[in-house]
Structure formats: structure tokens, C-alpha cells
Chain A
């Protein structure tokens, strides 16, 4: 009899060999292809998966609880730690939600810089996905190529904000800094390099027989299943639904930008792979359009709203009242209006939403983060049965899940 208050391996409770010849395998939580801390309990008949039970929570840090105990500006760097592959997207989603709550808008230059950052981050995230997914499936060299380009993109990020992974480069009401000298030239150079490199990746993979055999007709998500599970992002577009928030419910300056939404009606991992590759071209296209927009814009970087946002440095240093307001905002935090807001943005993983209830105090009454990967992981329950054990890795890879945002 196992004592409940003693730590013993729980595997003892599972019958590994059963009478009906099924076997239970624990996939993770330390499996290299689990993309973090995913424990999958797979019931196998031979090599076929009969039942899959994802078990999450190994990276739970209580970020939502922290959000309720921190002032709004304090919490922003914490959002980096959710989807740590694309932290600017988290920052942006959070900042946009608070801005909608306050009823303010970031100035145009700030919005252009933010869009540059999140699109660059989308490229970083997609390159990371490509590298790790290909590595999981068995293609080693693509990992090195994709990571090389990702390094260049992260160098650009570092030039802007000093950080490579957890950027915190967006503020509520704008951005803190203007772009450094020659950054736009470097960005242009990067987009050109990227666009010349993606065909090389595709040349390695798209018509590769092994790649096609591993991905085609593996992990087919029908449209109904995708909608029922709240699947968004590339996984939804790979299932033939043309739904991208940047295009369909535009926020920021996306309405002015010209880009396409790649979709695939194959619904399988191969279709999703094609969408990812195409999206990198589209992001690169957006970045190139943003450079002239940046040059045409006014130099203001933070929204002017002294009630919620600190005044510019010059004003703080010269005007007494601005200094007082700044002091109050820093020591006590901003107090947004009483109300609720749900704002969704298209992060590289899918629909990233922040539901915030404000009771008019400096601390959020409730902060809920709608993480796309959470539902993509839940989908595995219905998606995996019927597949081979070797396909499990492909499917997990093609869904692009990141455990920082699943467990929060």
C-alpha cells in the first residue's frame, strides 16, 4: 500500500503490460522532443497510439497570480516569460490590452517600431520552430542554417533593446527608445538575407522524400476539430480556415500594410510547414514596408496622457507638475478606469489574448492570459489516437507549443 504523503514514483500505479496487450508509455516530462515539460501518457497497441493524456503544469509559475499582485507597468517584463520564444509579442499583447482599457493610442512612430519588433519576433519564432521541428523529425543541417539566421535577427533585437530573448521592448503607451542609428539599414539587409535563405531551407525540405513521408497526412486536424478546440494561428490556417487577426480584425497599423495570409487545405503537418515558410516571407514583406513608414513618422514615442503615462524626460526635468505626476505614477502605479477588457493579438503561436478586470486600483483585479499553446496541447488528446508512436514527435513539433505560455 502506497503512503499518500511519501514521494514514490507514480508509475507503480500504472499497469505497463496489460491483458489486452496495450502498453502505457510516459512520454516526458523530460523528453527532448516534448518542447519543454510535457508529460504525455500514451496507451499503445504495438506502435499505434490508442489513447493520449497530456499532463501539464511542470512549468507553472503563477504568472496570473503575479499579475494581480503587481502594478500594470511592473507586470510587463513578466509577460516576457510566457512565450519566451516571442517575448515582444507578449509585451505587445499586454500593452495593447492596457491601452484599450485606458482608451489611449500609441503614437505612430511607436506603433511602427512595435510592429517591426513583433514581426521580427515572428520571424525569430518561426525560424526557431523550423529548426527544432526539423531536428525532431531528423533533419540536422536545417537546424544549423535556421539558427544562423535567427542569430542575425536576435542581433537586431539586441541592437534595439539590449536583450536577445526577454526583450520587454514595448511599454504601455508606446516604446521607450527610438531605433538606433543605421538599424533600418541593418533590418533591410537582414530581410534580404532571409529571403535569399528561405529558398535554401525549402530546397532542403519541401521535396525531400523523407520529410514528405514523415509529414504528409500526419496530424490531420479537420476544421471542426480545430474550431471546437479553439485552435488558432498557423494550426488553424493549416486546416483551411482563412483567419488571421492581423488581417480580419486588424489592430495597430496592420490595416495599412499589404500582406497575404497563407492557408493550406491539407490540414496535415506538411500543410502547416508550408504555411510557416510562407509566413516568414510575409513578415519580411511587412518589415520592408515599415521602413519608409518609420522614416515618414513624427518623432513622438510615448502617448501623451499625463494621468496614466509619465511625461517625456524633458518635461519631467523642467516642469514641476510633470515631475509630481511621474512620481505618483512610479511609486503608486497607474489607476485605469473600472471595467473589463479582452484584447487579442496574433502572436506567432496563435491568438494571444489578455482578459483584464480593473477595479480602478493600481493592481489588476483579475488578469487572465489566453495562451494559444494551451489549447494546442489539449488538442493532442483527440489528435494523437490512431497515429504511430514516431508521428507523435512530428505532431507535437508541428503544433509549435511553448511551455512557458501553456503553464504560465
Chain B
């Protein structure tokens, strides 16, 4: 029976499953141990509803409602001195939870602390742009839209950024295969020659290690070397025996490796004569 591959996640998976393996979590420390983080958390709790908060690998992680994102980032920036929004991205949880997790990474240069703000939106929902607060969100949100298809509202210029404007699909979704989907792999052919040319051109040969046996233009067989472009498909290839040092074939003169030139034995010269 063919093994079942889920359609909602086509990423590479380990072929071996250890039934008794228990996945350990990354340890989360208590916020009360960190003075600055607990102060910041108490101050932000007065403003918005914080769903969850913990400290994970030196980061304070805040989980908020998606409609509060602008308010929280603005408060962190203006009142709590988090002056850098270093990263903004989405994580695809469509298969598991039916939506995206949006991540905002903030850095405070005065406190030397990092905060991660997380929020979850459903697949059909949109998120407010934080571009008025941080100009870098202009490009980051464009990248998020390009890679995941997350729609950002009030964004000044929500276009694709890395992929071409007329690309179909969003490459970082779990449903998007690594080698591209059908439209992706035929993108150039469709554009230059039209869709009808797919049959003429044929699928792209992706195997870079492929060696064609009778192609003397691009390949040379060891021990059967012929001049470039010689037709050998009829089995008429001449034999060029490899000669070894041990058999006295290749002689060493001084320090240099020199192959003595033997006119009679050389196949090419024979043919030319």
C-alpha cells in the first residue's frame, strides 16, 4: 500500500517514527525572576488583555489578541522604550489550528532586552499594519504577504516583494512543495511561449547528475574517449585503454609526470592517417 502523505503539509518529514520518544520542551523561566520584564508586563497589562506571557530563551513572550497588535506595539515603542522592531513574520499553522501566528520581535537598546509579541489570526482574517510606527514593517509585511498570503490592512503598498508580481501561490505555506507547484515550474515557459508550449518543451530536466550515454557533445566516457560530436549510438565507439604506472604505461621523468607520446598507439592519429 502506498504511504499516506497529508495534502495540507508537504514539507519533508522524518521517515522513522519513534513511538516512545517524548518531545521535551524548551525550558521556560519565571517572569518574576527578571525585574525589567515583570515591570514591563505589569505596565502593559493595564492597557490590553494579555492572553499568555512567559520567558523563553531570554525573551519575554506576550500572546495578545490580533486586534490589539497596533496598540501593543505602539505602547511598547512609545512608553516602554522598545525602539527597534527587528523582525516581523508569520508562522503557518493552517493545518493544525487553521491560521497564522504573527510574530513581532522588539528590541530595547536602553534596557538591552528583547520582547516577542505573538498573535494568532484565522486564515480568512486580516491584521492591522504597524507601518506607521516602524517603517521597516513596510517591507517585512510585504514579505509576509508574499510568502504566506497574510493580508495586512492599512498597508501603504501591499505588493509582492521577492516573487514576481504575477506569481501564483505563496511559497512558504506548508501546502507549497519545495520544488514549486505546477504554475511555478512552468512559469517561464508559460510567459515566454504560452501554455501550449508546455507539451513541446516537456518537463524540465532537473537531474544535474544525469549522464547521457551516447551524447559525445557534453560527456566523455573514461576509456572510450572520442572527438567531440562523434556519433556513437550504433555501438561504433573505439576503445582507448587506460594505462597505468604499474604496467609501465605512464613514465615519470624527473619530478614531472609525463605521458610518452606514442604515435602508433594513439587512436586519433591513426584515424587521421
Tell me the A residues contacting B by CB distance below 8 Å.
Answer: 4-7, 56-57, 60, 62, 64-66, 68-70, 100-101, 103, 225, 227-230, 232, 241, 243, 248-249, 331-333, 335, 337-344, 351, 353, 355, 357-363, 365-366, 368, 370, 374-375, 378, 381-382, 407-408
Contact = CB atoms under 8 A, between A and B. Distances in A.
A375 B136 contact: yes
Contacts of B16: 331-332
A359 B89 CA distance: 17
B132 to A, nearest CB: 10
B136 A229 contact: yes
Contacts of A65: 171-172, 176, 178
Contact of A60 (B87, B162, B190, B192): B162
Interface string B122-147: 00000000000011101100010001
B112 interface: yes
Contacts of B27: 103
B109 A69 contact: no
Contact of A248 (B112, B136, B195): B112
A408 B162 CA distance: 9
A339 B61 CA distance: 12
- Counting chain B residues whose Cβ lies within 8 A of the other chain, the interface size class is 35 or more
A342 B26 contact: no
B83 interface: yes
A355 B25 contact: no
Contact of B91 (A4, A62, A229, A366): A366
Contacts of A339: 25-26, 56-57
B11 A69 contact: yes
Given A100-B57, A229-B135, A363-B13, 11 more contacts: A60-B162, A65-B176, A230-B85, A243-B109, A249-B112, A341-B26, A342-B59, A353-B105, A361-B14, A363-B12, A381-B138
A353 B86 contact: yes
Given A229-B135, A248-B109, A366-B92, A56 B190 contact: no
Contacts of B192: 6-7
B139 A375 contact: yes
Nearest to B133: A228
Contacts of B152: none
19 contacts: A6-B192, A56-B161, A68-B12, A225-B135, A243-B109, A248-B112, A338-B25, A339-B56, A341-B26, A343-B57, A355-B105, A361-B14, A362-B14, A363-B14, A366-B92, A368-B87, A368-B89, A370-B87, A374-B139
Interface in B81-126: 83-87, 89, 91-92, 103, 105, 109, 112, 114, 116
Contacts of B87: 342, 353, 355, 368, 370
Contacts of A69: 11-12, 178
Given A7-B191, A365-B91, A378-B139, A333 B112 contact: no
B14 A333 contact: yes
A375 B25 CA distance: 33
A351 B86 contact: yes
Given A69-B12, A363-B11, A378-B138, A227 B84 contact: yes
A203 B190 CA distance: 56
A56 B162 contact: yes
A382 B135 contact: yes
Interface string B1-35: 00000000001111010000101111100000000
Nearest to B61: A340
Contact of A101 (B26, B83, B135, B190): B26
A342 B116 contact: yes
Contacts of B195: 5
Contacts of B59: 342
B265 interface: no
A60 B13 contact: no
Nearest to B143: A374
Nearest to B89: A368
Contact of A227 (B56, B57, B83, B163): B83
A57 B176 CA distance: 19
Nearest to B136: A230
Closest 3 pairs between A and B when the two form their complex, measured CB to CB? A339-B26, A360-B23, A230-B136
A180 to B, nearest CB: 25
